[in-house]
Chain A
């Protein structure tokens, strides 16, 4: 009784029907997740559904959705359960089929009854009378990389020519690779985390805010020394943005001058930092950085805070920054305004004071003409300390498994689909040779034709 139940359960999990059903159910579930907004907050979902129905029914729909976790499909219990079933199905299928396949490699081949051969989809006949025909056929097959077995039967000599029979194992390699990838994902979700940190230029952080809002402490501090964004000329489209990072551990800097860019992450102690975003955030320690050139061309670096007075070197003039714009634009009435809060074209309004007389001038970072002041050339370099860099942070010990699984999957699939096993059966009887092949794929027929041509050619 128990055995019967066991067998039933086993058959259920080893069936291709289950695999196909899982393909369909997992696909549908995943598709739902791309349509219904994936959000823990109810508002976006209700807003989405109120486009199609009244608000009150949208609220009801939301209740149903949250009941089945349809707003969090990919982490819901049923989706994880389906993936688990998928893995189980793969394992049981392999255990079910692999031994008999391995066994078939070991058992010595036997001649096939003619009935089976005659039922094969490909059959070609060649009328020929040649004593050495067997050697010729053997040679042709061996030159093509086939291994041959010869049997004597009632109907004549039966030759089995086989190539790439072991490539049937590649299917199991492909299946194994999926299991490895799933295992990698499981390890990642248990022993890893994902989060982000926004670090203002000139400051550091020693914790990460995880995606579900918790603070995860790090045993080192990540300091952003400088952040810079480059833009394509005359456009607000970023060309590149990068952070200059320093790692501080136990109060001492352990790594310096690390550059993180999009597509160029940085890893320290198994934790990887990715450049994700950036933004404008003025702070008290923000500093305007200028370079002043006197008449002889000598350079002076000047750093000043907002509204802090600084001296123009070798003159009696004092100056201060009295306004700032990250992206200065001119509107239709000729008034100046901020285009965006991104530092596309930073500009400062500098107020000069000489003997009580005040003059003002806008100096734009990217327009050298504006650097010329009545008191010499004052180049505005940057506003340091007013931007934050947004870093994605991740720890995922499962990644090596993902890479291994991916490589194995590629190898497995290529062998599976490009090196399919080829079997030919040849029966040599009096005056005639018959070729049989269990699969018809076009190529096979042509190969047989070539072999026949070769046989005939040698006879001529």
Chain B
């Protein structure tokens, strides 16, 4: 089955992370090549799994346009990871720079871990009538490509903020290091959650850590979370040093953040908002209806529009503008997952 192949890819993504960490610490080129190799192998297996899943879908739906596996939460998460990792590998090759591979593999690992923990169905499902449209490919695929671009700009932005903030007590620094610390904690917790699960459908997020039924474990987990966040706050300058020693300057990170957004924003506008509106017009009889997904897409659009205006018209530079990119991606995550998990609406195919 395709999801087993994709799980192997996910495992390779997670394995790439320690490789990238060792590379950052030792600057050993061979280890860097190994880390990239593991990540690339994961990507190739992932593409193979994607094609297999396409075939499985095709055998049910008999339509090429409607068999792209992006029709439910699991498939969309998987597609998002594929876009992000492929995009990262392209950047790594183009700029000869492996500096943020760690964080890409962490986000990839978290996302794949989420598919285990949220108990989303991984089976190939037939399409509900509402999704039987050729707009499916254009709207959903482009939306997720833009999310992946925003994810990459988020990583570079957060590194940029940590690198360029001198004062450890400033809000920007505390905020960014806390997010990084939380991401790492979530990554590790998800590994435990998935490994300890007896029945993959009943796993709950944080059930082995923060939400554990044992008071001791849950208290220890909270302490571990705080310690992780504290360590990132305290030793954030190590990241700075590591990046400096790789001859990464903050301007490079700032430019890359801009490029991610300059690429993602028009694609999000066209694929997410415009194609979404056209499809909604054909399927639901209105192009815009303030459905939670639509509303949050508009908010995401506003945040990135704000980024572009601040950059080009107000001339904002440095960590100030990168903070907008960080917030932009947090809003994007809410648009993508939060709306489906916490709010109800017409985009319920994406829920569990």
**Chain A residues in contact with chain B, CB under 8 A?**
16, 19-20, 23-24, 26-27, 30-31, 33-35, 38, 73-74, 185, 194, 232, 237-241, 261-265, 272, 274, 276, 392-394, 396, 399, 402-403, 406, 409-410, 413-414, 416-418, 440-442
Q: A30-B299, A237-B128, A417-B266 are in contact. Are A23 and B286 (CB under 8 A)?
A: no
Contact pick for B343, options A34, A73, A241, CB 8 Å: A34
Given B269, B299, B313, which contacts A413 in the complex, CB threshold below 8 Å? Answer: B269
Given A19-B309, A442-B252, answer yes or no on A263-B130 (Cβ-Cβ < 8 Å): yes
Tell me the residues in window 270-295 of chain B with beta carbons closer than 8 Å to chain A beta carbons: 270, 274, 277-278, 281-288, 290, 292, 295
Contact (A30, B130) CB under 8 Å given A265-B282, A413-B266:
no
* A399–B281 touching, CB < 8 Å: yes
| SS class, residues of chain B in contact with chain A | helix
Give the bracket for the number of chain B residues in contact with chain A.
35 or more
In the bound complex, residues from chain B placing their C-beta under 8 Å from that of A440 are 251, 255
B329 within 8 A of A: no
What is the distance, in angstroms, from A191's C-beta to the closest C-beta of chain B?
15
Contact between chains at B262 and A417 (CB < 8 Å): yes
Measured CB to CB, the residues of B under 8 A from A are 126, 128-130, 132-133, 251-252, 255, 258, 262-263, 265-266, 269-270, 274, 277-278, 281-288, 290, 292, 295-296, 298-299, 302-303, 305-306, 308-310, 313-314, 339, 343
> Which of B130, B288, B295, B306 is in CB contact (< 8 Å) with A31?
B295
Determine how close the nearest CB of chain B comes to the CB of A105; give it in whole angstroms.
Answer: 18
Check A239 against B129 for contact (C-beta < 8 Å): yes
Nearest Cβ in chain A — how far from B32, in angstroms? 22
Give the CA-CA distance A34 to B289 in the complex, in Å.
12
Asked if residues A394 and B310 are in contact (CB atoms below 8 Å), the reply is no
Contacts of B296 in A (CB 8 A): 31, 34
A416: B residues at CB distance < 8 A:
266
With contact pairs A20-B306, A413-B269, A442-B255 given, residues A194 and B285 touching in the complex (Cβ less than 8 Å): yes
Q: Which residues of A contact B269 (CB under 8 A)?
A: 409-410, 413
Residue of A nearest to B252 (CB): A442
CB neighbours of B290 from chain A (8 A): 30, 33, 38, 73-74
Complex CA gap A132/B118 in Å reads: 69
User: Could you list 9 further interchain pairs (A-B, Cβ under 8 angstroms) beyond the known A406-B278, A417-B266?
Assistant: A16-B309, A27-B298, A30-B299, A31-B299, A38-B290, A232-B126, A237-B126, A261-B129, A263-B132
Q: How far is the CA of A35 from the CA of B292 in the complex (A)?
A: 9
**Across the interface, do B265 and A23 meet the contact criterion of CB distance under 8 Å?**
no
